[in-house]
């Protein structure tokens, strides 16, 4: 296992495990962290998993982890891998099963104070109005051809059906549709899992949270993003549901034999991969894009359902404007300067958020002068953040930031230490009303199972990658 003596600080809040640590490393492994975060990360296998990713063919410059790093399967959570487009690989296991798990932030024009007595009614109505929970289906069912169109067009398809506004697309990463999606690359089994789950939250760490802006750090950028002190916000955290899980399962399985034929060996079979330029690699990229589009459609429908609930409970003033929607688990083609030359790289983000500075062509028009919003949801008892990308992100992190607080405690340990019902009562005393689907599910997601999010986002700021814009605290949460 990697120990702290194997890690060297190379600049403020950037640490490196050199290539000499293990013979099979092709590049060094870097972590954005402060000393305490790094020390905590050395307690599980996250750093070793990061080293494993540094061994993949075509990996460029360094394998990276954000300060919310923790042990996953394959890469660590918080991992960012940049592969050369011509010589590098694409890995379904390094993208994960919940393809385009991500978060959407909606903002009202209401202040918390004006609706405080109605928060519990609002949370209960959201729980009733947005399908959630283990395996629960949704309101929308798609026939085969409709589902194919959804997979290839993402959020744009459901907006045309009346779920949301065209302006939502202008405030969504990739406008809610990743190019290159081909529905014929998605198996019948995956489509069957996806046919009735669009518009459902799911369970695990997925949630809808009502929050209030508790602190503004950067007034000018907050104004551009439309955020103000005391404002009522809604965070929606979910992904591609069973369809995405099946796409990953299919391609992790399907890549096992071709990887041998391509003569590729990996230190962990979950990092199974194929050359990006190969037919297998291209098919996975097309299927992954479909799953990503499904996830954007899913969050789009849930945003529509949440808006309906807000108007029903709070009245006509409770319109929710979309601030932004980002993905946490994805593969993208992006261009960066490598050795002074622009190069197209295949960026795998596994528990990381896109983070571009002001002026970048992929920042939506409305935000281009300010920079790309980075949405960082925290645990249900602490805080969430909105950050903005800075120029150093392009050279230090392949345009990436942290995606959350990151776990420090296993689900089993959290379930042993925390009783779901007691947690609900404790949070209620703190001013957070939680409506959950199961007590065990709630206990597994207890605030004590997560890192200190304040510290995580400060590490991003300390490395010069992103700047804090606003901090929100939870006041109501629904969990599946």
When asked if residue 30 is in the footprint of other proteins (CB under 8 A), the reply is no
Figure out which of the listed residues 15, 97, 112, 296 binds other proteins, where binding follows CB under 8 A.
97
Distance of closest approach, residue 99 Cβ to other proteins, in angstroms: 10
When asked if residue 208 is in the footprint of other proteins (CB under 8 A), the reply is no
238 and 298 in contact (C-beta within 8 Å)?
yes
Nearer to other proteins, 332 or 451 (CB): 451
Distance of closest approach, residue 77 Cβ to other proteins, in angstroms: 6
349 and 328 in contact (C-beta within 8 Å)?
yes
243-262: contacts with other proteins (CB under 8 A) = 245-246, 248-249, 252-253, 256-257, 260
294-313: contacts with other proteins (CB under 8 A) = none
Q: b/e per residue, 307-323, with b = 16+ CB within 10 A? A: bebbeebbeeebebebb
Tell how strand 89-90 and strand 400-401 pair up: unpaired
| Binding track, positions 218-237, relative to other proteins; x by CB under 8 A | --------------------
When asked if residue 202 is in the footprint of other proteins (CB under 8 A), the reply is yes
Distance CA 389, CA 351 (A): 17
Q: Hey, is 149 helix, strand or coil? A: helix
Q: What is the DSSP letter of 59?
A: B
When asked if residue 269 is in the footprint of other proteins (CB under 8 A), the reply is yes
When asked if residue 77 is in the footprint of other proteins (CB under 8 A), the reply is yes
Distance of closest approach, residue 49 Cβ to other proteins, in angstroms: 8
440 and 170 in contact (C-beta within 8 Å)?
no
SS3 of 86-137: CCCEECHHHHCCCCCCEEEEEEEEEEHHHHHHHHHHHHHHHHHHCCCCCCCC
Nearer to other proteins, 200 or 283 (CB): 200
Active site residue 403: yes
Distance CA 10, CA 196 (A): 49
When asked if residue 46 is in the footprint of other proteins (CB under 8 A), the reply is yes
The CA distances from residue 294 to 193, 210, 237, 263, in Å, are 12, 24, 14, 33
Other Cβ atoms closer than 10 A to 182? 16
When asked if residue 448 is in the footprint of other proteins (CB under 8 A), the reply is no
Give the interface with other proteins as residue ranges (CB under 8 A): 44, 46, 70-74, 77, 93, 96-98, 133-135, 189, 192-193, 202-204, 242, 245-246, 248-249, 252-253, 256-257, 260, 268-270, 272, 407-413, 438, 440-441
Which sequence positions are flagged as catalytic?
Answer: 403
């Amino acid at each position: 296992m990697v120990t702290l003596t194997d890690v060297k600080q190379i600049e403020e809040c950037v640490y490196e495990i050199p290539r000499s640590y293990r013979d099979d490393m092709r590049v060094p492994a870097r972590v954005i962290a402060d000393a305490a975060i790094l020390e905590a990360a050395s307690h599980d296998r996250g750093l070793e998993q990061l080293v494993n990713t540094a061994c993949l063919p075509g990996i460029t410059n360094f394998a990276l982890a954000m300060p919310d790093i923790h042990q996953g399967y394959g890469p660590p959570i918080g991992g960012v891998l940049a592969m050369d487009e011509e010589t590098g690989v694409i890995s379904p296991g390094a993208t994960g099963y919940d393809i385009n798990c991500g978060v959407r932030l909606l903002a009202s024009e209401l202040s918390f104070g004006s609706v405080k007595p109605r928060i519990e009614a609002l949370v209960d109505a959201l729980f009733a109005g947005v399908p959630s929970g283990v395996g629960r289906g949704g309101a929308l069912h798609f026939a085969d051809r409709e589902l194919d169109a959804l997979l290839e067009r993402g959020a744009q398809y459901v907006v045309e059906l009346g779920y949301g506004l065209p302006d939502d697309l202008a405030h969504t990463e990739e406008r809610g549709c990743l190019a290159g999606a081909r529905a014929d690359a998605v198996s019948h089994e995956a489509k069957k899992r996806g046919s009735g789950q669009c518009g459902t939250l799911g369970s695990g760490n997925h949630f809808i949270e009502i929050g209030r802006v508790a602190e503004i750090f950067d007034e000018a950028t907050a104004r551009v993003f439309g955020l103000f002190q005391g404002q009522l916000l809604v965070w929606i955290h979910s992904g591609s549901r069973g369809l995405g899980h099946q796409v990953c399962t299919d391609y992790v399985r399907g890549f096992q034999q071709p990887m041998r034929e391509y003569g590729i060996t990996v230190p962990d079979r979950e990092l199974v991969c194929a050359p990006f330029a190969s037919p297998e690699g291209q098919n996975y990229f097309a299927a992954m894009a479909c799953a990503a589009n499904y996830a954007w459609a899913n969050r789009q429908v849930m945003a529509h359902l949440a808006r309906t609930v807000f108007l029903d409970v709070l009245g006509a003033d409770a319109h929710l404007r979309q601030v932004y929607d980002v993905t946490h688990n994805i593969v993208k083609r992006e261009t960066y300067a490598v050795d002074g030359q622009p190069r197209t790289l295949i960026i795998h983000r596994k528990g990381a958020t896109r983070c571009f500075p002001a002026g970048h062509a992929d920042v939506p028009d409305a935000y281009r002068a300010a920079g790309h919003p980075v949405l960082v949801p925290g645990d249900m008892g602490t805080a969430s953040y909105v950050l903005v990308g800075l120029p150093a992100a392009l050279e230090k992190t392949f345009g990436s930031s942290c995606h959350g607080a990151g776990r420090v405690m296993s689900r089993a340990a959290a379930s042993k230490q925390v009783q779901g019902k007691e947690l609900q009562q404790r949070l209620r005393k703190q001013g957070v009303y939680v409506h959950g689907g199961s007590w065990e599910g709630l206990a597994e997601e207890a605030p004590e199972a997560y890192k200190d999010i304040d510290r995580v986002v400060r590490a991003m700021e300390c490395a010069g990658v992103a700047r804090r814009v606003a901090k929100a605290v939870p006041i109501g949460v629904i969990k599946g």
